[in-house]
Amino acid sequence: MRAPPQTVTELRSALRRGEITSVAATQAMLDRIVALDNELKSYLTITDELALEQAAAADRRRAQGEDGALLGVPIAVKDIICVAGAPTTAGSKILDGFIPPYDAFVVQKLKEVGAVILGKTNTDEFAMGSSTENSAYFITRNPWDLEHVPGGSSGGSAAAVAAELAYGALGTDTGGSVRQPASFCGVVGLRPTYGRISRWGVVAFASSLDQVGTFGRTVADATALFQAIAGYDRRDSTSLNVPVPDYAAALTGDIRGLRVGVPAEYFVSGIEPEVETAVRAAIAKLEELGAEIHPITLPHTRYALPVYYLIAPAEASANLGRYDGVRYGPRVEGADMIDTVKKTRALFGPEVKRRIMLGTYALSAGYYDAYYGRALKVRTLIKQDFLNAFAQVDVIACPTSPTTAFKVGERADDPISMYLADIFTLSVNLSASCGLSVPCGFDSKGLPIGLQLIGNALQEATILNAAYAYEQATGWHQEKPRIGRG
């Protein structure tokens, strides 16, 4: 069954011309979800009644002369972001049945501009994972090949956008959880600067690393969602109180004179040859479009993985302490209060338990300075690497992931191998930079490959325009996945 063939940009034009209503577009998308998502498993919850109500309201607003980039556009929201009246599980049994009475800041912003929320997408439990296999409910599949993972932790959002089960989607990116699934699923995924988008109403994993991001089938689509949700929020103490530029206007496609840095540390042993070939070809295309290519070095890159897996679990250990069977989700009764808490917390899945234990150990007396404290110092060195690089170049270009999507179950029993899937994305979160993934080719198995473009803090307009220029000069974003094709 085919979805309407428009991107966000094309659907917006059709809505403006009166060729389709938001209700019709939303119903078509809901019908497609019913027809295809039983195979894909990208959604945890379908908010069909809410979606049709919002679509009808959007049509009324349009009839009254209102217009906007996302007015009446159906999108999906990762199930770690609160939507009032809709279940929010964070992919965990410990939040089973939790229905927030409020909207997250980003959902409030989407409702203000008239976007239509189709439902909540699947995620690795508490966003801890790189494959969406860690969801407590079911595994999401890659729409290009159902035997492969969609990436994670925002795999449900990436898969839904790729399979045309949503026009765009929100995810979160703590160590690559928007960019890596975008690469695996052949869509555009943007991770903005830390603090550019409020985290209020987003279930916390690692508070100094978490950031809401956007997915789109094109750069313009991802930009439209980003434009709608960027901004200051006084309820988030880390929110940046700086003006929000017109990101859509920055998509000129002109990158003549753009200085693009290519880090030697991101082209190392372990990267699949087809991935390296595609990414180097993409960098050559940027040069052909007028960019200047410069070799650079990020010398502390090799420390990013161990630093991340000390800081993120430590912060997760603190954040997840609140799930005790008293305030949120189910309560498993025990013999006394301590036994009740123990039995309730046993609802956590194995990966979440692993990270809580790692984090608790790193924060424990006698080990704090040796592990967590030292990791913070090395994080500063990684951040300084990026600052030094951005004194020389405007954008850094490299692979999003060292491989294409791996098979379901292939790395399930090897946590280190799973963690290495994010080796090229972690540093962006540690350095509080911004980054995105844009499709740049396919391997011999027909699986997508992503080009990662990294920018300095608050330089989203620069990386979006570079990605847009590349996208317009190539045709990778026009390819369709196997699921639902025909």
Q: Rounded distance, CA 239 to CA 197, Å?
A: 7
Sort residue 374 into left (φ over 0), alpha (ψ -120 to 50) or beta.
alpha
Nearest-angstrom CA–CA distance, 47 and 225: 19
From 177, 401, 431, 437, the catalytic residue: 177
Among candidate residues 41, 78, 109, 120, the one labeled active-site is 78
Task: Give 148's strand partners.
Answer: 407
Cα pseudo-dihedral 440, 460, 212, 354, rounded to 10: 60
- Contact present, 292 and 260 (Cβ < 8 Å): yes
Where does 340-422 show beta strands of DSSP type E? 395-399
Q: What are phi and psi of 467, to 5 degrees?
A: -65, -40
User: Which residues, including other chains, have CB under 8 Å from residue 281's CB and lie 6 or more apart?
Assistant: 440, 441
What residue type is assigned to position 469 of the chain? A
Q: Is 153 a catalytic residue?
A: yes
CA of residue 243 relative to chain centroid, distance: 23
Partners of 395 in beta bridges: 260, 455
Q: How far apart are CA 228 and CA 122, in angstroms?
A: 23
Measured between alpha carbons, how far is 153 from 171 in angstroms, rounded to an integer? 8
- The dihedral over CA atoms of 467, 472, 474, 478, expressed in degrees to the nearest 10, equals 100
Which entry of 22, 130, 131, 153 is annotated as an active-site residue?
A: 153
Residue 271: HSE in the Cβ half-sphere, 13 Å Cα cutoff: 23
The answer to whether residues 356 and 316 touch, using CB atoms and an 8 Å cutoff, is yes
Query: Looking at the annotation, which residues are catalytic?
Result: 78, 153, 177
